[in-house]
């Protein structure tokens, strides 16, 4: 294992100290492991809070700031935060208008946030939870853990965050957050595995000429293994998986995320975006807004995830609303 | 089970987790996200430290404290799941006696283990065959209950040890039986049929917990 760390044990604390030093807009409580806005609370505003395992940066800490999250709680690498962290974030961010917890659908995240929500409610904090579950590579069934939350988390946090910033109440923010999740689908492929500092070696071994298709963001193997092919064909398969699950018609407008998984050159992500744009144009589907870059990563994994959100005019307006965070910044 | 045995059990789990941390991580690496060894170690190190700081009222108290510490320190699914199991076991032991807790005999401990399973399934919603902790826990509980029933009234220390040994063996059998299963819960479920052929890390740590109980009760005998 070759990593720019001092030790696996101090990785999280060192990285949090670095985030605090690099971004004056963030306030990092190292003891509680909670990141909030240094501007403090806006009276009467609904707080949007998220969290999850570390290793997905800039998700979630990099999305704390005006127009997006009020607080984030990073867990250990690929491990959900503990309830105490989420409770500390809720206490730090609640103005009395309630908090929306944005939770990616993994058993650990769901359980820890559920315990935290109960503790917060015991203290008189009103809590709503939205589960993000956009990954079509996972078979969805009531008998399983259900679909994973991946790239759509960014869409939910941006759009719900903008609505909260405009002064909407908790029920309205939660409803919109759920609508964004319902309108979004993702699919990912990996060219390499990733190495967690605790394991010290890759989660799986891939031969030079093979890819994992249908991976998540935790270094676990995907649904199947295939030969590497031109980007055009890989994108076509990923879009097929997404559009089979949620057909889009010619009039639909979309927000598209071409997301690097941490170890992919931006040059290659633009190749992928070009193929996505061409393929969607062929189907008459309009890309109204797009993002290309590393936003929801899986440590050092090379690969890409595609996320499509069918967006109505209200969602697009909220997407365009000003945002000022370490990772997303526009408008205002 | 008395205070000393409850403490020794938690310490034995911590030692076993420490010794088998890499194996748990490797199993989790194959079909999960490679953090089970580190998570279990962090939790039981914290639990033994928390127990060193308090003067418990009884064995139930020891296990409730262990469970609460796991919930506050582990994260992931294993934190709330194991945390609630230990809390439920501890609460049942504590609730059974009025005032200061007496030592629990095998029958009472069987009831406590049963409450632990209830709590585990309420949170995790997993059934036998889903390739989870439940696949080791259910056979272990059944073996413990059977042995405890056979022990007759009073349940001497030796009976407890025999029940714990039977439970450990059943848990290990259940653990090995997860290998051919396709996962329906937890991270491994994302792999679909590719989860087949790998032993479940959660069932493995559950078997380790029951083996630790057998070891410490055998030592008392």
> Based on the domain organization, do A178 and A188 belong to the same domain?
no
Among A221, A160, A233, A163, which residue's Cα sits nearest to residue A192?
A221
pLDDT at A257 over 90: yes
> Based on the domain organization, do A145 and A206 belong to the same domain?
no
- Of B150 and A100, the one with more pLDDT: A100
* Chain A nearest C-alpha distance from B22 (Å): 8
3-state secondary structure string across B97-130:
CCCCCCCCCHHHHHHHHHHHHHHHHHHHCCCCCC
Q: Answer yes or no: are the C-beta atoms of A235 and A279 closer than 8 Å.
A: yes
* Chain A nearest C-alpha distance from B150 (Å): 37
**Would you call A55 an interface residue with chain B, using a CB distance cutoff of 8 Å?**
no
Contact B76 A108 (CB under 8 A): yes
Q: How far is CA A320 from the centre of its chain?
A: 18
User: Helix B36-52 crosses helix B201-220 at what angle (to 10 degrees)?
Assistant: 40
Contacts of A83 in chain B (CB under 8 A): 71-72, 80
User: Of A119, A147, A182, which residue is a domain's last?
Assistant: A182
Q: What is the CATH number of the domain that holds A208?
A: 3.30.1180.20
Query: A177 vs A61, A70, A102, B9, B190, CA distance in Å?
Result: 19, 15, 8, 46, 24
Q: How far apart are CA B3 and CA A318, in angstroms?
A: 58
Pairing of strands A210-213, A329-330: unpaired
> Based on the domain organization, do A262 and A207 belong to the same domain?
yes
| CATH number for the domain whose boundaries are B3-220 | 1.25.40.340
- Of A211 and A205, the one with more pLDDT: A211
Q: Per residue in A35-62, is it b (16+ CB within 10 Å) or e — as a string? A: bbbeeebbeebbbbbbbbbbbbbbbbbb
Which segments within chain A are labelled E, that is strand? 26-29, 34-37, 47-54, 71-77, 99-104, 127-132, 184-190, 210-213, 224-227, 253-260, 286-293, 303-310, 323-324, 329-330
CB atoms < 10 A from the CB of B50, how many? Answer: 18
- Classify residue A5: in a domain, yes or no: no
> Based on the domain organization, do A63 and A163 belong to the same domain?
yes
> Based on the domain organization, do A203 and A287 belong to the same domain?
yes
Question: Quick one: residue A48, left, alpha or beta (phi over 0 = left, psi -120 to 50 = alpha)?
Answer: beta
- Of B100 and A195, the one with more pLDDT: A195
Q: Per residue in A168-177, is it b (16+ CB within 10 Å) or e — as a string? A: bebeebbebb
Contacts of A204 in chain B (CB under 8 A): 30
User: Of A120, A154, A182, which residue is a domain's last?
Assistant: A182
Q: Which residues contact B1 (CB under 8 A, 6 or more apart)?
A: B9, B59, B93, B103, B104, B109, B160
A 66-105: CB under 8 A from B: 75-84
Q: What is the CATH number of the domain that holds A47?
A: 3.40.50.10440
Q: How far apart are CA B109 and CA B1, in angstroms?
A: 8
**Would you call A1 an interface residue with chain B, using a CB distance cutoff of 8 Å?**
no
State residue B98's pLDDT score.
43
Overall average pLDDT of the B59-85 stretch: 95
Contacts of A114 in chain B (CB under 8 A): 80
pLDDT at B100 over 70: no
> Based on the domain organization, do A166 and A192 belong to the same domain?
no
Q: How far apart are CA A137 and CA A214, in angstroms?
A: 5
- Classify residue A45: in a domain, yes or no: yes
Contacts of B75 in chain A (CB under 8 A): 53, 75-76, 79-82, 108, 112
Domain range for A236 is 184-318
> Based on the domain organization, do A149 and A200 belong to the same domain?
no
State residue B157's pLDDT score.
46
Cis? peptide before A58, omega within 30° of 0: yes
Q: Answer yes or no: are the C-beta atoms of B12 and B215 closer than 8 Å.
A: yes
Token pair for residue A120? 């917060």
pLDDT digits (tens, 9 = 90+) for A4-57: 999 998 999 999 999 999 999 999 999 999 999 999 999 999 999 999 999 999
> Based on the domain organization, do A129 and A146 belong to the same domain?
yes
- Classify residue A325: in a domain, yes or no: no
User: Of A150, A182, A214, which residue is a domain's last?
Assistant: A182
> Based on the domain organization, do A166 and A294 belong to the same domain?
no
Greatest distance between any 2 Cα atoms in chain B: 52
Q: How far apart are CA A195 and CA A307, in angstroms?
A: 24
Q: Which residues contact A96 (CB under 8 A, 6 or more apart)?
A: A44
Task: Give the start-to-end residue ranges of the domains of chain B.
Answer: 3-220
Query: B132 vs A299, B25, B135, CA distance in Å?
Result: 26, 15, 6
pLDDT digits (tens, 9 = 90+) for B37-71: 999 999 999 999 999 998 888 999 999 999 999 99
Handedness of CA B100, B54, B68, B70 (dihedral sign): negative
Please indicate whether residue A60 is annotated as part of the active site: no
ipTM of the complex: 0.83
Which 3 state secondary structure label does DSSP give A51?
strand
The DSSP output letter for B131 is S
> Based on the domain organization, do A227 and A294 belong to the same domain?
yes
> Based on the domain organization, do A173 and A308 belong to the same domain?
no
Considering the entire predicted model, what is its pTM? 0.91
Residues in B lying within 8 Å of A, measured between beta carbons:
25-26, 29-35, 37-39, 42, 71-81, 123-124, 184-192, 194
Tell me the HSE value of A11 on the side-chain side, using a 13 A CA sphere. 18
> Based on the domain organization, do A116 and A258 belong to the same domain?
no
In chain B, the N- to C-terminal Cα span, in Å, equals: 12
| Total structural domains within chain A | 2
């Amino acid at each position: 294992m070759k990593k720019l760390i001092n030790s696996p044990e101090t990785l999280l604390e060192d990285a949090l100290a670095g985030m605090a030093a690099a971004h004056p807009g963030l306030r990092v409580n190292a003891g509680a492991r909670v990141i909030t806005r240094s501007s403090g609370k806006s009276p009467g505003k609904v707080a949007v809070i998220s969290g999850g395992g570390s290793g997905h940066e800039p998700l979630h800490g990099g999305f704390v700031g005006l127009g997006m999250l009020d607080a984030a709680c990073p867990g250990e690498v690929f491990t959900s935060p503990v309830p105490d962290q989420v409770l500390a974030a809720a206490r730090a961010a609640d103005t009395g208008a309630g908090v929306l917890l944005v939770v990616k659908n993994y058993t650990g995240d769901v359980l820890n946030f559920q315990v935290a929500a109960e503790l917060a409610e015991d203290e008189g904090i009103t809590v709503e939870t939205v589960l993000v579950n956009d990954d079509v590579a996972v078979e969805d069934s009531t008998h399983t853990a259900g679909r994973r939350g991946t790239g759509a988390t960014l869409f939910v946090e941006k759009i719900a965050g903008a609505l909260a910033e405009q002064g909407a109440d908790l029920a309205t923010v939660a409803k919109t957050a759920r609508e964004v999740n319902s309108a979004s689908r993702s699919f990912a492929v990996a060219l390499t595995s990733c190495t967690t500092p605790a394991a010290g070696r890759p989660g799986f071994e891939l031969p030079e000429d093979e890819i994992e298709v249908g991976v998540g963001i935790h270094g676990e193997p995907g649904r199947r293994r295939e030969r590497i092919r031109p980007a055009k064909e890989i994108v076509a398969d990923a879009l097929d998986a997404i559009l089979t699950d949620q057909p889009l018609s010619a009039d639909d407008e979309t927000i598209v995320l071409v997301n690097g998984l941490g170890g992919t050159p931006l040059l290659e992500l633009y190749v992928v975006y070009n193929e996505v744009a061409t393929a969607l144009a062929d189907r008459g589907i309009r890309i109204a807004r797009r993002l290309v870059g590393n936003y929801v990563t899986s440590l050092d994994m090379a690969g890409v995830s595609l996320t499509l959100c069918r967006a109505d005019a209200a969602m697009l307006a909220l997407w365009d609303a000003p945002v000022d965070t370490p990772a997303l910044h526009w408008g205002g | 089970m008395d205070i000393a045995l409850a403490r020794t059990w938690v310490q034995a789990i911590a030692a076993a987790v420490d010794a088998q941390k890499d194996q748990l991580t490797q199993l989790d690496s194959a079909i999960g996200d490679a953090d089970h060894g580190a998570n279990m170690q962090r939790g039981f190190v914290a639990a033994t430290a928390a127990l060193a700081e308090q003067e418990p009222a009884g064995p139930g108290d020891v296990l409730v404290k262990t469970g609460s510490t796991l919930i506050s320190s582990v994260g992931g699914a294993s934190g709330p799941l194991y945390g609630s199991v230990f809390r439920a076991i501890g609460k049942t032991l504590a609730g059974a006696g009025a005032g200061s807790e007496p030592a629990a005999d095998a029958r009472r401990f069987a009831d406590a283990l049963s409450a632990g399973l209830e709590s585990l399934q309420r949170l995790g919603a997993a059934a036998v065959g889903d390739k989870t902790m439940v696949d080791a826990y259910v056979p272990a509980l059944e073996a413990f209950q059977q042995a405890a029933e056979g022990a007759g009234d009073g349940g001497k220390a030796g009976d407890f040890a025999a029940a714990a040994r039977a439970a450990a063996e059943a848990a290990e059998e259940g653990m090995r039986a997860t290998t051919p299963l396709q996962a329906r819960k937890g991270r491994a479920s994302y792999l679909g049929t590719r989860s087949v052929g790998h032993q479940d890390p959660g069932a493995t740590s559950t078997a380790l917990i029951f083996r630790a109980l057998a070891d410490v009760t055998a030592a008392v005998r």
